[in-house]
């Protein structure tokens, strides 16, 4: 391992009782995670999660109180800084990954923000993939009733449907549909007793170019199939109605989570896109739960990936090569309380302006 | 740190290092300049109806001049919009239909 490379920080999230700890216990038993450090927080008086996870990993740091995301960002920041300092001093094993388990009621976004915004942490750590567990039996209830649960799914790169051994097939399919409707780019998998392979924590932010490309391919396929299913798909009427409800297409719920998938055939003028997205996240960052874009940038031979959460955008990066010959740009936004149609119109207006300015520039040089 | 004003350098903006006509990013100085010039031209098009003018400042920052003559300095594109709000007194909304109609020309 390159000792100077930023350490990936994975986030394991999921609603109360959805199997986060079971997943962690399984994942941590795999040799690939022998050098992972685990940060958990105690929620409530029992601290059950702590008791279970601590036995697995001696470098577990227990947060002092409450919920990581709402009240303990400073604790998380301090916890991560201390962990890194102890690693540098040789007081703890040289861990090569940090896994943060959030509470069942947590919003993962502030956790990501803590790592990405801290002046010290952002140089030593990077956000890896976010994994959410969803109980297949109770998915309609938790996703239907609790905004926290929807947010966790919307932010995830991967969603693991848990308890599929006690759910029947119809429940599993329904849970899958709910998740896919909330997050069209997530990779959704079924697990029994947390049994997931080591690649469950791999992600698009990986230092490995091949892994980055493979991850891009996965979410691209998921996004396109999700869109097809939503707009035209063979989904039965009842499922389509449910998808529409989750996408807020009936327009009745202003704060409902909605998804926008845009494809662009023309190459993207990067400056216009940069200005547009900067302005969008500055003005509406609180309503953008997640965004991922694979862009055919004008003049660039390879695709550019942009992804972020709220107003937090990871530095844009080039992938090694195009995944297909089409070279179509694809953008996926998961938003809350924003009109997808207006968002798309705005993007296209800014890009058109970019093309006009570029043409004027070229004409001026000729 | 900037020797002139003593401002500590922040992290690079997410959009930096991408673009350039030959696909080499903005690593080369002239491509970086070209990208900044285009950013300024575009920002001025977007802000024309608000009577706000953006200028490149030493290739490191942007100056934002409002309708009253108030001038603010923005370190990068992210901060640009905060400064625009400071000189106009109101936030610019990229989803404002009136703005989009103006941009569509």
- CB atoms A361 and B39 under 8 Å: no
- Residue in A8, A127, A109 with CA at minimum distance from that of residue A67: A109
Question: Both A309 and A189 in a single domain?
Answer: no
Question: Both A136 and A281 in a single domain?
Answer: no
Question: Both A197 and A262 in a single domain?
Answer: no
Question: Both A168 and A88 in a single domain?
Answer: yes
In chain B, residues with a C-beta closer than 8 Å to the C-beta of A280 are 94-95
Torsion sign, CA atoms A204, A206, A212, A215:
negative
**Alpha-carbon distance A334 to A309, whole Å?**
9
What's the count of helices (H) and strands (E) in chain B, helices before strands?
3, 3
Question: Both A112 and A177 in a single domain?
Answer: yes
- The reply to whether A217 falls in a domain is no
Question: Both A191 and A252 in a single domain?
Answer: no
Looking at the complex, report in whole angstroms how far the Cα of residue A271 sits from the nearest Cα belonging to chain B: 6
In chain B, residues with a C-beta closer than 8 Å to the C-beta of A342 are 95, 97
Instruction: Tally the domains of chain A.
Output: 2
pLDDT of residue A351: 96
User: pLDDT digit string (tens) for A201-259?
Assistant: 766 555 566 766 777 777 677 666 665 554 443 333 333 334 444 443 444 345 667 88
- Residue in A304, A302, A16, A337 with CA at minimum distance from that of residue A146: A16
Retrieve residue A11's tokens.
């986030």
**Alpha-carbon distance B16 to A278, whole Å?**
12
**Strand ranges for chain B from DSSP E:** 53-57, 61-65, 71-74
Region at A263 (left for phi over 0; alpha for psi -120 to 50; beta for the rest):
beta
CB count in 10 Å sphere of residue A18: 26
A74 versus B73: the higher-pLDDT residue is: B73
Question: Both A140 and A255 in a single domain?
Answer: no
Q: Find the helix or strand (DSSP H, E) in which A209 lies.
A: helix A209-231
Looking at the complex, report in whole angstroms how far the Cα of residue A205 sits from the nearest Cα belonging to chain B: 14
pLDDT of residue B8: 44
- The reply to whether A163 falls in a domain is yes
Antiparallel, parallel or unpaired: β A312-313 and A304-309: antiparallel
Question: Both A153 and A265 in a single domain?
Answer: no
Mean pLDDT on B13-42: 69
In chain B, residues with a C-beta closer than 8 Å to the C-beta of A278 are 13, 15, 77-78, 80-81
**Alpha-carbon distance A3 to A26, whole Å?**
26
Exposure string over B14-37, b if 16+ CB within 10 A, otherwise e: bbbbbbbeeeebbeeeebbebbbe
Domain limit, last residue, from A203, A228, A259: A203
Domain limit, last residue, from A203, A238, A259: A203
Query: Residue-wise pLDDT tens for chain A (366 aa)?
Result: 566 788 989 999 999 889 888 888 788 778 888 788 888 765 433 333 333 333 323 344 545 444 333 334 677 888 888 888 888 898 878 888 888 888 777 788 888 888 887 888 888 998 888 999 999 999 988 888 888 899 899 889 899 999 999 899 999 999 999 998 888 878 899 988 777 777 777 665 555 667 667 777 776 776 666 655 544 433 333 333 344 444 434 443 456 678 888 889 999 999 999 999 999 998 998 888 888 898 999 988 888 988 888 878 888 888 888 877 778 898 989 888 888 899 999 999 999 999 998 888 888 776
Max Cα-Cα span within chain A: 73
- Residue in B90, B42, B37, B97 with CA at minimum distance from that of residue B66: B90
- The reply to whether A231 falls in a domain is no
- The reply to whether A213 falls in a domain is no
Exposure string over A314-327, b if 16+ CB within 10 A, otherwise e: bbbbbbeeebeeee
Note down the domain range covering A305: 246-365
Closest by Cβ to B14, choosing from A271, A299, A315: A315
User: pLDDT digit string (tens) for A331-356?
Assistant: 989 888 888 899 999 999 999 999 99
- The reply to whether A236 falls in a domain is no
**Alpha-carbon distance A271 to A277, whole Å?**
10
The answer to whether the CB of B58 falls within 8 A of the CB of B69 is no
In chain B, residues with a C-beta closer than 8 Å to the C-beta of A362 are none
- The reply to whether A357 falls in a domain is yes
Looking at the complex, report in whole angstroms how far the Cα of residue A106 sits from the nearest Cα belonging to chain B: 26
- The reply to whether A232 falls in a domain is no
């Amino acid at each position: 391992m390159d000792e100077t490379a930023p350490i990936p920080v994975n986030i394991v999230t999921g609603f109360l009782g959805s199997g986060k700890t079971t997943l962690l216990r399984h994942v941590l038993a795999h040799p690939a995670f022998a050098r992972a450090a685990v940060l958990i927080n105690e929620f409530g008086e029992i601290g059950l999660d702590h008791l279970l996870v601590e036995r697995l990993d001696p470098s577990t740091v227990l947060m002092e109180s409450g919920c990581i995301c709402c009240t303990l960002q400073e604790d998380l920041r301090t916890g991560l800084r201390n962990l890194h300092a102890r690693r540098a001093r040789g007081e703890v094993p040289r861990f090569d990954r940090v896994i943060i388990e959030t509470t069942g009621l947590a919003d993962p976004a502030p956790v990501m923000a803590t790592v990405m915004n801290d002046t010290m942490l952002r140089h030593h750590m990077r956000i890896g993939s976010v994994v959410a567990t969803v109980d297949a039996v109770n998915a309609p209830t938790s996703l239907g009733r609790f905004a926290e649960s929807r947010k966790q799914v919307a932010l995830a790169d991967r969603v693991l449907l848990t308890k599929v051994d006690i759910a029947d097939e119809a429940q599993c399919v329904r849970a899958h549909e709910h998740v896919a409707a909330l997050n069209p780019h997530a990779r959704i998998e079924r697990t029994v007793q947390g049994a997931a392979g080591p690649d469950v924590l791999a992600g698009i932010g990986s230092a490995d170019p091949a892994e980055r490309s493979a991850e891009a391919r996965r979410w691209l396929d998921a996004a396109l199939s999700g869109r097809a299913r939503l707009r035209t798909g063979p989904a039965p009427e009842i499922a389509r109605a449910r998808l529409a409800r989750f996408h807020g297409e009936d327009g009745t719920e202003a704060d409902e989570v909605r998804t926008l998938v845009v494809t662009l055939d023309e190459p993207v003028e990067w400056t216009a896109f940069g200005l547009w997205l900067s302005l969008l996240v500055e003005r509406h960052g609180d309503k953008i739960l997640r965004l991922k874009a694979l862009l055919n940038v004008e003049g660039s031979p390879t695709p550019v990936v942009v992804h972020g959460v709220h107003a937090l955008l990871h530095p844009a990066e080039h992938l090694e090569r195009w995944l297909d010959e089409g070279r179509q740009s694809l953008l996926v936004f998961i938003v809350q309380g924003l009109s997808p149609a207006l968002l798309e119109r705005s993007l296209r207006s800014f890009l058109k302006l970019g093309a006009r300015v570029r043409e004027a520039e070229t004409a001026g040089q000729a | 740190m900037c020797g002139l004003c003593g401002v500590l350098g922040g992290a690079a903006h997410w959009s930096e290092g991408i673009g350039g006509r030959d696909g080499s990013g903005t690593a080369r100085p002239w491509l970086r300049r070209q990208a900044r010039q285009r950013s300024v031209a575009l920002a001025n098009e977007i802000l024309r109806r608000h009577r706000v003018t953006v200028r490149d400042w030493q290739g490191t920052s942007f100056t934002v001049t409002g309708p009253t003559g108030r001038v603010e300095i923005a370190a990068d594109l992210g901060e640009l919009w905060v400064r625009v709000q400071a000189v106009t007194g109101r936030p610019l909304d990229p989803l404002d239909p009136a703005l989009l109609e103006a941009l569509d020309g």
